[in-house]
Chain A
Amino acid sequence: MSAQKDGWVSSLVFFLFCASSIPNCGSASLQQEPSPQHYFSGLEAGKTSLAFFTPSVSPGAQPFLEQIESSAEALQDYGVSVVKVNCPQKDVSRYCGKENALRKAFLFRGNRLIREFPTDALFDVNSIVANVLFALLFNEVKYIETLADLENIENVLKGKSNMVFAYVPATGTPEHRAVMEAAFVYGTIHQFVLTTEAALLKATSHDDPDVSSAWLLFCHCQQATDPAQPCRRTALAQPLTLLNIHRHLKLMGAPLVTEVAEDPEKISTVHLQLGLPLVFILSQRETYEADRRTAEFVAWQLLGKAGVALLSRDLVDLNVLHRSNVALKTPEEGMPIQYLVLEDTDEVITLVEDKNKVKQIQEDEQEEEEEDEDEKENNNQDIQDDQVVEAVSRDKKRELPLEQILVLTEENFHSSLSEAARTVVLFYASWEAVSLAVLRSYSEVAALLKGTPGVLLSRVNCWDWPGLCSQENVTQFPTMRVYKEGQQSVTYGGMWGTEELSSFILLSQVSCPLKLATMDEAEGYLRGEFPPKLSSHHHTSLLGVFSTATSKAMEAFEEAGNILSGHVRMGMYFEDDALALSRKYSVSPPALLLTRSGSQSVESISLSKHSVQDMVQMIRYELLDIFPEITVPNLPQYLQLGKPFLILFSAGDISQMESEEMLKLAKGRAQQAFVACWLNLKKTPVGHGILRTYFSTAPSLPVLLWVNLHAGGQVFKFPSEQSITEMNILAWLEKLQAGLEIPSSTLSEEDWKPPLPAYDFLQMMEPSVPELSPHPGDTPAQHPPQSPGGDTAGGDTATREEPSQESTAEGVGSPGRGLRGTAPRLAARDKQGKRHSEL
């Protein structure tokens, strides 16, 4: 225990030793001199050094020493070494002996003393560097106190060189240091002038300047010719830092207007390198002189904000509008050059300044940017994003051919129903988009079925006759019903497409199930020849065969027929010789016989379940194909099975081979756990959209996919190098089940959220109607805290009320209101007003 403790202590001691010795041994810039003699003997001519003398034991000057030490590195950049000279005890020489000399630092060039600084002027690194450089650059940086001094210097410089005039509130500040450091570099090129006089600042800047912040002017005296006029000045707009001054001086040094004779895309100037835009004035030979003047004028305006180049169109083959006169190149990589047609130079200037503003906002205020985005989004709120509504309103001018469709009203509804054997009624609302979309299909149905005897197509506009619609229990728009005399009406529950609607209407003509009287009829029915009314339409025919002993099944079948009426062709045969029929197809009643459309073969199914629901479901299931082509209208039938899809996407019809293999696969496992199907991209082009969602690059067609529509949503792609055969697919499926394949894609799990936000009227109302929020504490975010603390309660309410009044006034007087006024102004949608406030 104690040994461990000892070790701990010794390592701590070691650490302390290291830490205290680092400044001495780690930093090469702070020299230590054992004695004054040693120091002075070592001074080289031309070398500058800052020395301070310290008795070997002197705890008082400790903070100052720290600052000195840390400035050593900075000063080294300017060739100044910082030396700490240890005064031996009892030394009474010039620097060590006097008490007050120990409170000073001394600047030597060679062995000549240039300045001595009291330690309280060297309070931090900035002040040390500033003061040392100020002393060294005595000639390069003129310190002045009056306006006359400034004018004198200016006059002397005119025609010779430029001047940098800086105001700093005090010496030793970071700004002072920045100016001095800049002067160190540029002092030989430009004349630097420094002042700390606020009066001078006021005399040189336009509006009321802030005397507490530094200020730098670049005075273009080199080009100045008129002795009476002061030199042109360009102020530094950014805070005074070394980098900004450097940038500013660099820009000032660049040529005012660059003449360019090559592709602007390739041009790069100092401005672009410094992150500023470059404005091209597009010039032609004929107007060169004027353009040159314009460019110079603009350049002066934009000095420090953007570069200006004069681009001669005659020399460069530009693929832009002839009218374009200005181009703007921004420093962002890859941004195309904008070519513009501008009227005057102000526009050029606003263009650049706004760009900068935008950029600044983007850089500085992330939050505001988000707000901007919100606003942008809000602007889209009034753009229709409902495809059906938009399509219908774009189509509203077209007059629908509705002559074939009888208009029913409260007055003629019941009388009309009794006129025809079957009346089809479409209940709709004339303002509702889905209704109107269906009405269009309905009018096509009317044209298709024109002249079909016994069918009367009619419509009821529930907006005109709400009483009739509620009496007929229509709660949804649209609703289509087939009314038969003396029977219950049948409500349509299928796709709202022209084909599906007409097929339903046609099938509804025949009772469902149709009672067949003779064997001939039954046979004819299975062949699709009976009843003759429907012979021209291809439908799967379903025939229920019953004997007298199976009346219960027969009742259920009849009930199922009512439900499926219009969707399925159903017949029933229950004559005495039903047995003969069942024997022929080797079934025993109750049984179903089924002929698929386009096929001659008769399938037989025995009926084991006798509930209506089961029978409906069974019939629906039996109607499904084994290997169907999936289309937009038939997909839901297969979706309802709730199984994954094994789907072959094909560019056109699938080949015989693929078809056979897939069919084998589908049949192979009668109780398949999946739906084997295919999709013809030619017939169902939206399939391209599916593939595009699944794959980033187009797969070669045909492509076989396993889609877990209901569980997990994974999509797997059958390897394209393998041929589509039953064996290969089965092997692949096994691998899938075993989890050995990686899904190509997964279906989005996202919820269907509102596409865009709503107008937040609650928020809009709150400022003007504060009573809406009974407890102001509930919504703290409403009033941004304006003056935290210091404000009396009265003052607080005053500041709160003010914005609310303002916003009310704005609201009432806002030009957006009323310009499209309904009553007072007939000139309707005048969007001008909306923009006014934006501009």
Chain B
Amino acid sequence: LGLALYTGSLCMVSGATFLYHDYCIIGAGPAGLQVAYFLQQAGRDYIVFERSHSPGSFFALYPRHRKLISINKQYTGKSNSEFNLRHDWNSLLSHDRRLLFRRYSRDFFPNADTMVRYLEDFASLLKLQVQYNTAIIHVTLEKNEQAWNGHYFLLTDQDRKNYKCSSLLVAAGTWVPNVVNFPGSEYVEGYETVSTNPEDFTGQTVLILGRGNSAFETAENILGVTNFIHMVSRSRVRLSWATHYVGDLRAINNGLLDTYQLKSLDGLLEGDLEDLAIVKDKKGKLHITLRFYLENRNISAGIDSITLPQDELDNFATRAPYDRVIRCLGWKFDFSIYNRSLRMMPGKGNIKKYPQIKPSYESKGTRGLFVLGTASHSVDFRKSAGGFIHGFRYTTRAVHRLLENRHHGVPWPSTVYPITQLTNSVIKRVNEASGLYQMFSVLADIILLRENATEFEYLEEYPIGILAELEMQTGRKVRNGLFVIIMEYGRNFSGADKDVFYYNRAVGEAQHAWQSNFLHPVIYYYKRLPTEREMRLHHPDWPLPRPDAIHHIVEDFLTDWTAPNAHILPLRRFLENCLSTDLRNFFAESCFLFAFTHQKQPPFCQEGYVRMQGLVGSQELRHHAVQAGLLQDYTHRDFSDDRRPGSHDGSRQPVIRDHGIPVRPLQHLVNAKDE
């Protein structure tokens, strides 16, 4: 480390000149700028490379129809800035309140140009170190034992300029269009270049390949002027409001579903694009056929010699000829610039468009290479929001915290509280924390209990995939058990076929909280940190291994989990039973009584009253507590005519009648000595 820092930023290796930085970031999109901000705040040596002349070049072009589908909620009725971020999907994290997206656009679904402007401002107002017009075209490794990770990263740009870094943060996004090759695919127009002017489609019949948001966005744009639109793709349509995954088809784009189901000529088809073939007839019309029919034919012989499906099956669905075929198949990560030695491998199955990374966002192939932003979505693909700004702004922060601990000895930020604040700190976080909310089931708050459970340490937004490595990754010690706080949808609630509007879908009673369906906080309690093996073996449907105890806070229509009886009370009981202590609050008068009648004090009295910070409480409050039977009123009672404590006291009856609330006399709390 010292060597790297003090040899300056210029060094000579095997004859070439290298510009050195501790951290190199590829891409000045939202993720690149976000991590640049954290590195800058921490005073680290970093540089961001951006191939374009300004940040967010992806947004300069996409989405083609310019409407972002990430919401920009102006009003929530709350001033809590952290809470409001739950409904602001476009802002990046910073201390600068000018850099909130709602100050840039009043649209609920803003224009992509606004995003470009926002990112420009973000980079310039925060004075982030971005080197524009620098396209990294090659990345390779240089072994060096003194380097942080045993090697340096050597980057080469389009002008053959070289850069050397200790840590490489790839925030390049996924921008290479997915292309399917089949006979006749040369007739297909790409989403990247297709006209966005509806007039160009007037009176045309259009086939769209793909069924994602870009496909539907394209369809939406031309829906009103075409003869009809057909869409074809292998999988069924996945509606984001059914799957609770923002990457699936958003309702704002689903006009075509409406017209299809309302018999207006448009339609959806399922089929494998690999089997497809397109032939053009003399009039320039495009006919759909199958690769199978073409295999033994000479295409050059012309359309007449080619069998079309309708020749054999005269009601073949796509027998009508199309004027245009548009490909909207999404994007993939650019693997081409990485030397083989970095082993940047595509994922398997439906995450092959993303590079393989660990739950710590570090590449599986290369230590010290972290993937951020959209390209890191393989961690929570089709589950959470890690592929989108409102999700990866938090995972990026988590990666930065991991790096701070690993390379600079700065442990994961944490706050130590007395145990009396345990319920409060959980309630505060589940009500306002945006990272937990957006990155549900991916990021978790961790509570580490200190000895004797008198204090605890609170760590925010730690990636649960690397829970087993917590001590090593955060520099914090797990001494005495831990709580893991995450948010979850109900099991079996989200899914492409699920009816998310069924009757009685909402749970209202705290005792049935575990059956909650909507996003709600869940707290796992472990007596010790789960091991790597337990993390590996746990059931895939579960975010974490089997805990020693679990608590669900019942789902809430307002996502406001501050109700004293339905939310806080069951949570307190859960925490109490995990810690085996009494976490109730007491008025000073009760603590006074305990001080004289008990050798040990409950934590609230011990932390407060005994330290001269007792809660005296106003007259009215103490009166209410007496009426509730939770505080004994000794003022108007004569000792002699009072019955023995603990006996069935008839004189308490009126209290019940007055308020209809079951009475728990203080004696039960006090545990009179005669018991």
Flag whether B640 is at the interface (Cβ < 8 A): yes
Complex contact A437–B617 (CB within 8 A): yes
* Residues from 583 to 641 in B contacting A, C-beta threshold 8 Å: 584-590, 592-593, 595-603, 609-618, 620-622, 624-625, 627-628, 630-635, 637, 639-640
B515 proximity list for chain A (CB < 8 A) = 811-812, 817
**Interface-located stretch among A77-85, A207-215, A751-759:** A751-759
Instruction: Report the minimum CB–CB distance from A407 to chain B (whole Å).
Output: 11
Complex contact B424–A632 (CB within 8 A): no
For B566, give the chain A residue with the smallest CB separation: A382
- Contact mask for chain B residues 538-555; partner A; CB cutoff 8 A; 1 contact, 0 none: 110110011101111001
For A765, give the chain B residue with the smallest CB separation: B514
B628 proximity list for chain A (CB < 8 A) = 384, 387, 390-391, 394
Complex contact B577–A757 (CB within 8 A): yes
- Contact mask for chain B residues 206-249; partner A; CB cutoff 8 A; 1 contact, 0 none: 00000000000000000000000000000000000000000000
Task: Give the most central of B424, B506, B508, B644: most A CB within 10 Å.
Answer: B508
Complex contact A747–B577 (CB within 8 A): no
Contact of B424 among A429, A466, A639 (CB under 8 A): A429
Flag whether B266 is at the interface (Cβ < 8 A): no
Contact of B630 among A391, A438, A639 (CB under 8 A): A391
Flag whether B193 is at the interface (Cβ < 8 A): no
For A701, give the chain B residue with the smallest CB separation: B639
Complex contact A750–B568 (CB within 8 A): no
* Residues from 695 to 713 in A contacting B, C-beta threshold 8 Å: 696, 698, 707, 709, 713
* Known contacts A754-B582, A759-B511; A466 and B506 CB within 8 A of each other: no
* Known contacts A496-B613, A692-B639, A765-B550; A754 and B634 CB within 8 A of each other: no
Contact of B634 among A498, A689, A828 (CB under 8 A): A689
Flag whether B291 is at the interface (Cβ < 8 A): no
Flag whether A772 is at the interface (Cβ < 8 A): yes
Contact of A758 among B427, B570, B615 (CB under 8 A): B570
* Known contacts A387-B584, A824-B503; A774 and B78 CB within 8 A of each other: no
Complex contact B580–A429 (CB within 8 A): no
Task: Give the most central of B432, B611, B621: most A CB within 10 Å.
Answer: B621
Q: How far is it, in angstroms, between the C-alpha of A386 and the C-alpha of B64 when the chains are bound?
A: 58
* Known contacts A395-B624, A496-B614, A633-B588; A758 and B508 CB within 8 A of each other: no
* Known contacts A817-B509, A823-B505; A692 and B595 CB within 8 A of each other: no
Q: How far is it, in angstroms, between the C-alpha of A523 and the C-alpha of B464 when the chains are bound?
A: 67
Complex contact B624–A391 (CB within 8 A): yes
Flag whether B673 is at the interface (Cβ < 8 A): yes
B538 proximity list for chain A (CB < 8 A) = 774
Q: How far is it, in angstroms, between the C-alpha of A692 and the C-alpha of B670 when the chains are bound?
A: 11
Contact of A639 among B582, B610, B625, B670 (CB under 8 A): B610
For B568, give the chain A residue with the smallest CB separation: A389
Instruction: Report the minimum CB–CB distance from B445 to chain A (whole Å).
Output: 14
- Contact mask for chain B residues 80-98; partner A; CB cutoff 8 A; 1 contact, 0 none: 1110000000000000000
Flag whether B261 is at the interface (Cβ < 8 A): no
Complex contact B514–A824 (CB within 8 A): no
* Known contacts A688-B639, A771-B541, A824-B504; A639 and B621 CB within 8 A of each other: no
For B79, give the chain A residue with the smallest CB separation: A464
B672 proximity list for chain A (CB < 8 A) = 692-693
* Known contacts A391-B630, A437-B615, A819-B508; A476 and B421 CB within 8 A of each other: yes
Q: How far is it, in angstroms, between the C-alpha of A445 and the C-alpha of B615 when the chains are bound?
A: 15
B593 proximity list for chain A (CB < 8 A) = 686, 689-690, 693
Flag whether B562 is at the interface (Cβ < 8 A): yes
Flag whether B124 is at the interface (Cβ < 8 A): no
A476 proximity list for chain B (CB < 8 A) = 417-418, 421
- Contact mask for chain B residues 501-536; partner A; CB cutoff 8 A; 1 contact, 0 none: 001111111111111000000000000000000000
* Known contacts A388-B617, A494-B612, A820-B508; A752 and B600 CB within 8 A of each other: yes
Flag whether B556 is at the interface (Cβ < 8 A): yes
Contact of B539 among A391, A392, A690, A771 (CB under 8 A): A771
* Known contacts A434-B615, A749-B600; A475 and B432 CB within 8 A of each other: no
Complex contact A498–B618 (CB within 8 A): yes
Q: How far is it, in angstroms, between the C-alpha of A818 and the C-alpha of B511 when the chains are bound?
A: 12
Instruction: Report the minimum CB–CB distance from A759 to chain B (whole Å).
Output: 5
* Residues from 424 to 446 in A contacting B, C-beta threshold 8 Å: 429, 431-434, 437-438, 440-441, 444
The tally of residues in B whose CB lies under 8 Å from a CB in A reads 114
Flag whether A24 is at the interface (Cβ < 8 A): no
* Residues from 732 to 779 in A contacting B, C-beta threshold 8 Å: 745-762, 764-765, 769, 771-774
Q: How far is it, in angstroms, between the C-alpha of A189 and the C-alpha of B570 when the chains are bound?
A: 66
Flag whether B491 is at the interface (Cβ < 8 A): yes
* Known contacts A409-B79, A758-B551, A824-B505; A685 and B634 CB within 8 A of each other: yes
Flag whether B662 is at the interface (Cβ < 8 A): yes
- Report the interface size class on chain A: 35 or more
Q: How far is it, in angstroms, between the C-alpha of A747 and the C-alpha of B601 when the chains are bound?
A: 11
- Contact mask for chain B residues 108-144; partner A; CB cutoff 8 A; 1 contact, 0 none: 0000000000000000000000000000000000000
Flag whether A477 is at the interface (Cβ < 8 A): yes
B509 proximity list for chain A (CB < 8 A) = 816-817, 820, 834
Flag whether B669 is at the interface (Cβ < 8 A): yes
Flag whether B15 is at the interface (Cβ < 8 A): no
Flag whether A832 is at the interface (Cβ < 8 A): no
Contact of A755 among B556, B620, B669 (CB under 8 A): B669
Flag whether A34 is at the interface (Cβ < 8 A): no
Complex contact B512–A816 (CB within 8 A): yes
Flag whether B159 is at the interface (Cβ < 8 A): no
For A440, give the chain B residue with the smallest CB separation: B618
- Contact mask for chain B residues 395-424; partner A; CB cutoff 8 A; 1 contact, 0 none: 000000000000000000001011001001
For A749, give the chain B residue with the smallest CB separation: B599
Flag whether B158 is at the interface (Cβ < 8 A): no
Contact of A466 among B80, B552, B588, B664 (CB under 8 A): B80
Instruction: Report the minimum CB–CB distance from B238 to chain A (whole Å).
Output: 22
Instruction: Report the minimum CB–CB distance from A316 to chain B (whole Å).
Output: 25
Complex contact B512–A387 (CB within 8 A): no
For A439, give the chain B residue with the smallest CB separation: B618
For A712, give the chain B residue with the smallest CB separation: B599
Instruction: Report the minimum CB–CB distance from B621 to chain A (whole Å).
Output: 4
B312 proximity list for chain A (CB < 8 A) = none
Complex contact B565–A382 (CB within 8 A): yes
* Known contacts A389-B564, A498-B618; A635 and B592 CB within 8 A of each other: yes
Complex contact A386–B572 (CB within 8 A): yes
A713 proximity list for chain B (CB < 8 A) = 599
- Contact mask for chain B residues 647-675; partner A; CB cutoff 8 A; 1 contact, 0 none: 00000000000000110101001111110
Contact of A381 among B415, B562, B573, B603 (CB under 8 A): B573
Contact of B542 among A444, A637, A639, A772 (CB under 8 A): A772
Flag whether A719 is at the interface (Cβ < 8 A): no
Instruction: Report the minimum CB–CB distance from B103 to chain A (whole Å).
Output: 14
Instruction: Report the minimum CB–CB distance from A564 to chain B (whole Å).
Output: 12
Q: How far is it, in angstroms, between the C-alpha of A389 and the C-alpha of B622 when the chains are bound?
A: 11
Q: How far is it, in angstroms, between the C-alpha of A393 and the C-alpha of B568 when the chains are bound?
A: 12
Flag whether B557 is at the interface (Cβ < 8 A): yes
Q: How far is it, in angstroms, between the C-alpha of A467 and the C-alpha of B586 when the chains are bound?
A: 29
Instruction: Report the minimum CB–CB distance from B645 to chain A (whole Å).
Output: 6
Flag whether A227 is at the interface (Cβ < 8 A): no
Flag whether A493 is at the interface (Cβ < 8 A): yes
Q: How far is it, in angstroms, between the C-alpha of A653 and the C-alpha of B389 when the chains are bound?
A: 70
Complex contact A747–B598 (CB within 8 A): yes
Complex contact A495–B612 (CB within 8 A): yes
A637 proximity list for chain B (CB < 8 A) = 612
Q: How far is it, in angstroms, between the C-alpha of A747 and the C-alpha of B671 when the chains are bound?
A: 11
For B602, give the chain A residue with the smallest CB separation: A752
Flag whether A288 is at the interface (Cβ < 8 A): no
B44 proximity list for chain A (CB < 8 A) = none
B80 proximity list for chain A (CB < 8 A) = 463-466
8 contacts between A and B (CB under 8 A): A386-B585, A390-B624, A391-B630, A395-B624, A686-B634, A750-B671, A761-B513, A820-B509
Sample of 6 more A-B contacts, CB < 8 Å, known A466-B80, A759-B551: A387-B590, A387-B630, A747-B597, A752-B602, A759-B570, A834-B509
